[in-house]
Chain A
Amino acid sequence: MSLNQWAKEIRRNQLKKEKDKPKDKPVYVNKSKIREKNELINCLTVILRTKGCSWARESGCTMCGYIYDSAKEVEDRDIFNQFKESIKKYGTKKPFVLKIFTSGSFLDKKEISKNLRDKIIDYIKREPKIRKLIIESRPEFITQNNLMDLLSEINKLEIAIGLETTNDEIRKDCINKNFTYNDFLKAAELIKDHNINLKTYLLLKPPFLTEKTAIEDIKSSIDDLRKLNVDKISINPCNIQKGTIVEYLFERDEYNPPWIWSLTDILKEYASYDFTLVSEPVAGGKKRGIHNCGKCDNEVLERVKDFSLHQDQTVFNETECECKLTWKNYVEIERKLHNTPKDFRRSTPKNK
């Protein structure tokens, strides 16, 4: 059984347990601020409930459980309503950036049919407050035709690709992503050729990697991406999502989510380059997400947020906590232990 089949098996078992999801409700709608070309701007994020990521339906990535948000029977009409209602309800008076995610690929016609896509694009085109559209897609759907379709309608566009790492072996062995760096490069070239902004997600600490290797992997990935004229790099710290291989290991004490210190270590090192470097951790500070000792988590995550908005590495200047030493030792000896230290506590026990 390959990793591929294992992911499939876990997925199948979890899907049996899942209840039907409401077709008319989007998965997630939220307002926030993001950084766009040296200014802060409002941002509306809508995650549409589709039939789910094609790859996840076939097998899926080791850390991704978004497939369980999907609805089997959802139709174009339902999805369009989800979209329209979200914009109406949350659209601000001021100009804003619109992120439309599907937990899959916006350009995948199995998720968003050509017809539905045209309708959504048409709606956006007629909404002047929307300054920019950000969508996500796997590289295989980023084709000349798809891009031309979009561009003829929308003038400001950003496409985000979940590359996760530039290391093909890690992407295959630890993430089960089912595309290569070369696939990404081709898509990236097309995107740049059409003057579309390119955002790349990197995954911090996929399963099987030690904290140290994980940090090194992100750093060497950023080094590779720097050469490509990528506009934005977003680091996604791995979190524990249900019905995934990562969760299976986490439940057996064989996967530990990354430390926030690992993230700040990377952000500091790559703060002053000509791409925007951001991170918006999911489940930050929680047991199932990136975390430190528990005492400093909120403070340090706040700095990460600050950094993502202002790209100013001095925000990290005064972040210190006793647990940073624990992290340092952990990074140093984890590989030497040659096992997953199950009771490595991040917090210091209380003194008498």
Chain B
Amino acid sequence: MSYFEVLERDGPGRIGELKCDQIELETPCLIDQEAKVRDLGSLWGFDEREISSDSRVDFNILPTKSTPPHVKEEVFDIFLKESIGYIDELKEVKGFNIPAINVNKSTSANKRELNKLRDFKAVLIENVDNLLLPQELIESLVGLKEKLSEDTAIYIPGAATPTNLAILVYLGIDLFDTYKAKYYATNDRYFTDSGSINLGELDYLPCNCEVCRDKDVNQLLSLSKRKRIDKVYRHNSNAIKREINRIKESLKKKRLRELVEERIRPDPEITSLLKYLDYNKQSFLEARTAVTRKSNLYANTEDSLNRVEIKRFRDRIVNRLSGSESDYLVVTPCSARKPYSFSKTHQIIEKGRKGRGDKLILTSPLGVVPSQLDIVYPAQHYDIPVIGKWTENEKKLIEKTLRRYLIQKDYEKILIHVKELLREITERVSKELGLDYVSTSKGRDPRDQESIKKLRRELKDVQKRINRPKKIFRSLMEYQLGLKDLNYKKIQVKGRYPKYRFFDDENQIATLTHRYGFLAFTLEGGRRYIPKMYKVKIENFVPQGSVLAPGVIEAGDEIRPNDEVLFEGESAIGVGRAEMSSLEMERSNRGIAIKVRHVEEK
């Protein structure tokens, strides 16, 4: 039996297992190094009778009529159709077959023929290295990815270099090889961490692999061409192997995006791939990105401002969070210590606020963080390089998000308790929206005694303190599940912040997982509160431990990895944590879809 199963995900990137009768590979990997691959070559001049079944072959690459990407599209399509059409005639070829699909400058992803490829466990994509422009490459790859099944391994041959591997894996590519390493070695091009360089231009060997150790450039150059190609090829292969391990490690630690942002820097062409992806393929990324991650989120570059997690946070607090708890809003600065409420600054500010009025924190790259959500991912988990000044982009982003946020809510008065620049922004936005405002720390540090006094004075008419635990519950229900107008008056909260447990009529309904700031539901809580977009319809069985993807009939649109979901079938109902996004649950035939927490037979 052969299959491809995704085991770990981080955004569209994944670690998987590719299995055929004789071999089992952990992806992403270099398929030519770990298995015996036979390329059946071109369909032009192809003679089927010459194919013998070779028991040592693990994978057959099926023959194609390949044309380069700039061939007139109609001509290109004719050959593509013929290549795919021929797959049926190759049923005789035994073993694990990988069909090759050709892509060109305009996406060929809408071709009906592609459906034929859905049954294959792995598909090779041709021409990728010939696509020069980011839109060509991203459009065709993403187009194909969306067309193919999630449990199809994608193989891009002849492309892997140390600089492009990270972003290719991030795009959801699983299989690579060392052919480009060889082709570069043949041209005396030596892979470095930041690209490749002509051996003749190199002064020092920036590597310590078995080939380069204790050698210098001249020793390599004085070798015969045959030996030199061999050595440089081995070095180049080592460089990609090292990169693959680095990527897998990051993926497992859910830090792939950070690695990608780091690895693309040396090459503007590769950097533009990520930019194009972020700007134009946000929905592709969003549909595959987990709602929480194990690791911290480092927004070290301007590209980070466009990350899914960050955009998603901004969108949810604007669109999902409902009305205000108080008529007053205290606007406060952010702190390095997270969650903010634990920071020194906020403890000082609390002396003036004393739990009265809603509190909002201004920050980058999230824009604004309502204080009751300061433990939710990624508010508690991000860090940015701080130099004491905001960049133009950050300023714009804060202003824009603040405006979007305030329009949705109905505050009567804004108490602006931040430093100069942010104060100006907040005053401008408040004025623009016709809101009454007062600056409580104008010309002073927000932690200054005078500032605190002023804040306390401004709030003197406000008697009612916010019930923070209940407010956290309500906001989380809105933020996490998209619920609105929830009646939470009778909710009881037990435990000490942040280890809250929530009860409804004496029944425990949820726990606050302080690590991600998400609610984990009991069966009762799930049954009562989880809405349709987080529900999964399953087949007629009682799952033990996990619900596998083939058992899923239908999954709510909004489900992303790590979301809390309610699953229900004819014979069972339960709650658990999603391991996949809804899209993958519905399209996959393998893998764990939901890790079950509580299940009950019907």
Contacts and interface: CB of A to CB of B under 8 A. Distances in A.
Interface of A: 1-3, 5-6, 167, 169-170, 173-174, 208-210, 212-213, 216-217, 220, 248-249, 252-255, 322, 325-326, 329-330, 333, 335-345, 348-352
Interface stretch (B73-81, B353-361, B548-556): B73-81
Contact of A338 (B44, B157, B187): B157
Contacts of B180: 337
A268 to B, nearest CB: 21
Contacts of A213: 41-42, 44-45
Contacts of A343: 187
Nearest to B225: A322
B68 A336 contact: no
A50 B349 CA distance: 94
Contacts of B186: 325-326, 329-330, 344
Given A208-B67, A338-B124, A1 B199 contact: no
Nearest to A1: B74
B188 A349 contact: yes
A322 B68 CA distance: 29
A349 B187 CA distance: 8
Contacts of A336: 32, 39, 157-158, 177, 179
Nearest to A321: B225
A183 B100 CA distance: 34
B45 A170 contact: yes
B546 interface: no
Nearest to B186: A329
11 contacts: A2-B74, A3-B75, A213-B42, A220-B45, A329-B186, A336-B39, A338-B66, A338-B158, A339-B127, A339-B128, A348-B188
A137 B157 CA distance: 43
Nearest to B43: A169
B200 A349 contact: yes
B98 to A, nearest CB: 11
Contact of A337 (B158, B217, B221): B158
A333 B79 CA distance: 22
Given A3-B75, A325-B226, A339-B128, A174 B68 contact: no
A249 B39 CA distance: 25
Nearest to B126: A338
Nearest to B78: A2
Nearest to B44: A170
Nearest to A328: B186
A330 B184 CA distance: 11
Interface string B149-187: 000000001110000000000000000010110110011
Interface string B206-243: 00000000000110010001100100000000000000
B188 A249 contact: no
A209 B42 CA distance: 8
B218 A339 contact: no
Given A173-B79, A329-B229, A349-B198, A254 B70 contact: yes
B65 interface: yes
A352 B182 CA distance: 22
A307 to B, nearest CB: 25
Given A173-B44, A339-B126, A349 B199 contact: yes
B43 to A, nearest CB: 8
B70 A338 contact: no
The 7 closest A-B pairs by CB, nearest first: A337-B158, A254-B68, A1-B74, A338-B126, A339-B129, A329-B186, A339-B130
A248 B218 CA distance: 41
Given A254-B70, A338-B100, A338-B157, A352 B183 contact: no
B367 interface: no
Given A330-B186, A352-B218, A352-B221, A209 B71 contact: no
A326 B228 CA distance: 12
A344 B187 CA distance: 7
Given A170-B44, A249-B68, 16 more contacts: A5-B74, A209-B44, A210-B41, A210-B42, A213-B41, A326-B225, A333-B183, A335-B39, A336-B179, A337-B179, A337-B180, A338-B127, A338-B158, A339-B159, A341-B183, A349-B198
Contacts of B130: 253-254, 339-340, 342
Contacts of B226: 325
Contacts of B41: 210, 212-213, 335
A174 B44 contact: yes
A329 B75 CA distance: 30
Contacts of A352: 200, 217-218, 221
A217 B217 CA distance: 41
A3 B129 CA distance: 24
Contacts of B157: 336-339
B116 interface: no
A2 B200 contact: no
Contacts of A337: 129, 157-158, 179-180, 183
Nearest to A351: B221
B72 interface: yes
A350 B66 CA distance: 34
B561 interface: no
Contacts of B225: 322, 325-326, 348
A3 B74 CA distance: 8
Contacts of B32: 336
A350 B200 contact: yes
A212 B179 CA distance: 16
B519 to A, nearest CB: 48
Given A170-B44, A213-B42, A2 B75 contact: yes
Contacts of A6: 72, 74-75
B13 interface: no
A345 B187 CA distance: 6
Nearest to A248: B70
A254 B69 contact: yes
Given A1-B74, A352-B200, A167 B100 contact: no
B250 to A, nearest CB: 27
A50 to B, nearest CB: 29
Contact of B72 (A1, A329, A348): A1
Nearest to A352: B200
Interface in B43-74: 44-45, 65-74
Contacts of B217: 352
Nearest to A323: B225
A341 B179 CA distance: 11
Nearest to B72: A6
Contacts of A325: 186, 225-226, 229
Nearest to B105: A252
Contact of B66 (A208, A212, A322, A341): A208
Contacts of A339: 68, 126-130, 157-159
Contacts of A169: 44-45
Nearest to A249: B68
A1 B45 contact: no
Interface string B117-159: 0000000101111100000000000000000000000000111
Nearest to A322: B225
B161 to A, nearest CB: 12
Nearest to B77: A1
Contacts of B71: 208, 249, 254
Given A173-B65, A254-B130, A338-B157, A333 B182 contact: yes
Contacts of A341: 129, 158, 183
